[in-house]
Structure 1
Amino acid sequence: MKRADKIRPVSLRYKLIISSILCLLLPAAITLTVSNLNTKSVVKQHAVDNALGTLEVMDRYIVNTVNKMLYVSNFIQFDSEIQSIIRGKWNDNRLNSEEQFVVNYFNTKKITEKLDNISFPGEKTRITILLKDGTAYSNISQLDYDPQHFFQEPWFKQLAPIPSFSTYWIGTHPSYLAEDKDEGRYFITIANTIKSFSSEPYGYLIVSLSEEQISAIFPENNTNNEHMLLDSKGTILSHPDKSRIGQSFLHFDKLEDESSPSIIKVDKEDYMLLNRKLSISDWILVSMVPYQEAISQINTVQGTNFILQGLFFAVFLLILVALMRQFTKPVFKLSRAVSQVEAGNLQFRTHIQGDDELGRLGQSFDQMLDRIEDMIQQITLEQTGKRKAELEMLQAQINPHFLFNVLNSIRLRIKLKGDEENAALISSLSSLLRMTINRNNEFIALHEEVETVAHYFKLMNFRTSEPITIHINIEPEVASVDIPRFVLQPILENSLIHGFRDYSGSISILAQKQDEHLFIQIGDTGRGMEAKELAQLHGHLTSIESSRKEELKRGLSGIGLKNVFERLRLIYGEHFHYQLASKPGQGTVITLEIPLKSGEKHA
């Protein structure tokens, strides 16, 4: 802590020195950055143009080769003779085994001849038509492979859901021909489903092409560059090095936009990574070009960098000196003014003039000091008035306390004379007056509010010849819940005034917890209300117009029924709900629903 206290705040002059250093270093950094960016831009553009030209040629060749595979696939699917034969094979069960053998022999011969004829010269395309019953038609001798092995391939299950005439790209896989397996050759294969009019697959078309027909266009692997064909997941489909096929391209996540090559490091050497997405599928052509080899052809002139650095140094230094002279004086004036105000001298003023930012800042600072002095005087007057008001409030509290003490003395004297009934009445009156006059707390526990209501009923029954019975049923877990003061008393008072007229009855209070809400139900056995009268009461409770003058004409607390509902809506907002139910001759029931969060506002 002592070491921290010794650290002084950085002065403005020191900040300007730091700024000057930054201003001197910034031109050099800008110059070097611009120069490097220009150099890299030229180098990249030169290398990218060459690589993109190579990728474009490869793209055209691969697209042309794959289009031939698609042509073969489409030709077979739309050839009426081939479709008639395989559809007849699927449906025809009428021939005996000998006749069916002869028909199948000639049909197989026809299809095989067609498959041989649609293969392009120099590009041996392996074609297999496989039916669900295991029957196969192919331009490959079945001595070299078993067509039914396709049923066991992991990709075969993916064919059934695809629509008719849609192509499933299987990608690169080891050759399924016996003569190719020892040589480590690969095929690139596509597949289609052959479906009936009811969309049920009854056959499959598999077209394969040797991977060597694609990798033949790649330059042989050397120290200069590298080309390959990837699928959408980064798996190598074609590469001059056969051992790389099927492996994941380690820098697949570095592939960016085709027009934006990225720089990667392979064996401590930088490479430019370019890619081109084929238009026929999700395949990607990738080219890796050595970066150092590309930039060795370009040697831009660097001598201009030193000239630019010297020029920027001189210009920024002159600007800095001018700015320091211009800004230092007014800032120091403001600093002195702040020190004076901190010392308690509120009469000090900066008197800074000018239309710039510092001039306006000085004038605003002076105006702020003027307002602070005015506010101090105003606060002093307000505090004096507040103390006078507090004194008057303390004096006003003398009369209520005097009244409570006198009532308690009278109650004790009457009780000593044996008049327990009148002593109880005076006790109820004293408690009721204390709760009515003491309104400092906005909220009160539910059981205290109920006690106030009980005292009120004792006094009201004393006044009337027909007593009203009150039944209280409060669950223990909600007895201590805080509710707004004077919520129940005005409702019960309203029931006494309007529900009972010179005849006895009963009023019940039920309080219970339901789903984090407090439900209070006040019911009476009074005269009840007609539907029209009930609607008028509901409209009165929900109307915006105030009826404060009418409610103050009578009642113990001066709080009417409408006031109670307005207070509950203000406190709880949309979380407060109520219900009114009444029938002539059967009484009225009012139900209140408020959240079980004591003393919190929910509006």
Structure 2
Amino acid sequence: MRIHWTRKLALRRSFQAKLVLTFTVIMMVTLSLITWIWYSNTTNILKRNASEYVMDNIKNANHSLDFLMNEFISLSTLISMNQEFIAEPITPKPEQSDYERLLRRRKVESFLETIYSFNSSILAIQVVGEDGTVFSAGFSKMYYDVISDIWNKDVSGASGKALLLRINLAGGLEPESDESYTVVIGQAVLRGGKVVGTVYMYVRYSAISSLMSAQSIPGTELILLDENGGVLYGEDEHWSQLILGHPKLSEAMKAVQARGGSVQYQEDGKLVLIYRSDHTRWTTVGLIPIEILIKDSQELRNRMYGASAIVMIIIFLLIFALSQQTTKNIKRLSKAMKAVESGDLSPKELPRTKDEIGLLSIRFMHMMDTINSLIHDIKRNEKKKREADLKALQLQIHPHFLYNTLNTIRYLAKLQHAANIEQVTGSLIHLLRSAAGKNSGLVTLSEELQSVQSYMDIQNYKYVDDIVIHYDMQQGLEDYRVLPLLLQPLVENALLHGIEARKDIEGGVIRVSIRTEQDDCLVIAVMDNGPGMPAEMLDLFRQGKNQEDQRKMFGIGLHNVHERIQLTYGSAYGLDLDSRPGEYTRVTLRLPFDSSRPSA
């Protein structure tokens, strides 16, 4: 059991297992993501296309209904506006005889029969006079008695406008047909601006239902409502349940009926489409189950998952075979590295494939050669270092002996009242100690200026007249630390190559300026009023091509300062020369400035 778990743990930790697992997970995630994106996009496209298709069908059905109802309303208007055959004959005349009334009836009904025969979708036509006389054409069973109590006043008060009503024929009102509903168009008959009767045109329900059913797709439910919310196509009870159970549908209906146009949204697994006709002001509601829309995409999704599983198995086998070969070469390389780890630096038999493993083997062999070479160099350098340390120990006594000797000379000069020798000796001691440096390797700018002043105190005894030197340091930089002996070589260069070259040394002036630029750069400038430098010499220094010639012309000091700055801070910093013949020479140092760095 222990061996079993050990092998299992090694498998989990092996490169091959990680490679196979990584590629398998990546492929599974990639294929699953591609399948999901494809399925999601396909489903959305199907929903959008189906909604557009159904909405177009609804609009087409409404346009057909508009045309159909326009035709029926036109026929109804033709009847209601006819004065000769309708309005005048139905107006009651008490002095008429029975024979005249019979002729009057025949005249009206003959005209109604003509209109009735014009369209087979007309079930019946009734004209009701002011005195209640009914004139009819079509089926013998009339419906005026049913609608007169609930609708006659509305029709009469509509000032000739056509009104529509759907009647349920299930309550003993069936005509000689098998239809369950009929749509009635009611319109007032006017004569001289006065209502003298009403016209009722009964339209077969199949004329409307055939248009609606022809535009629907399987599984889609369409409901047609008049402008008052009455159901013209569909089941009244089902529509009432929808309105009560879906407040969002009720709000959308009100919005569409108020402003027109169309609305669509998704709710309870159905796509809801609402459209209102601007002509009849009828509203059509379409309900499409989402399952019907995405049925095909679900089948394609399942097939896609099956194909992805097969591809995954094939890829897994290929990755396993590839990783096995790769790990075999890696193990050989690892064995060679283990031998080196134990101290065996002799050449090894490594994989010589043309892939990255082979390239890694070549690099490893080159690395072994480099290590062997470095080991020999280290041994040689260690030997030199031991010799140098021994020599340094021997020379440590010399600076102390020199300091003690100079202090003795300074003391004797003081006893002899030789102030000049005492001052020169003190300044020399200060310069030597500055050159020896401190343990930290850095000095403050104030200490640098003291070293410059000590150097100038010594040089002033060389010249008859004092050389004027001005110091201009930005406030707050006194304790900022820099490399030692940066300023003294610059001042020495200004004195030797600038002031001494003047015809009048008495007028020689050296200016030292220290300040910061842009909060990240410390700029130190030393300028003299000497004769300046020719342009070719200035170019030679800036090009830096022949350092040996530069040392001969400018001395070792400037180059030493420049190289120390670049070795410490990088090539972005260092020394620069600027000169104008006959006027001045200026040496500028640029150092990095860190305001957060602690001062002395």
TM-score normalised by the chain length of structure 1: 0.45
Q: Mark the structure with the bigger radius of gyration.
A: 2
Structure whose residues are more often helix by fraction: 2
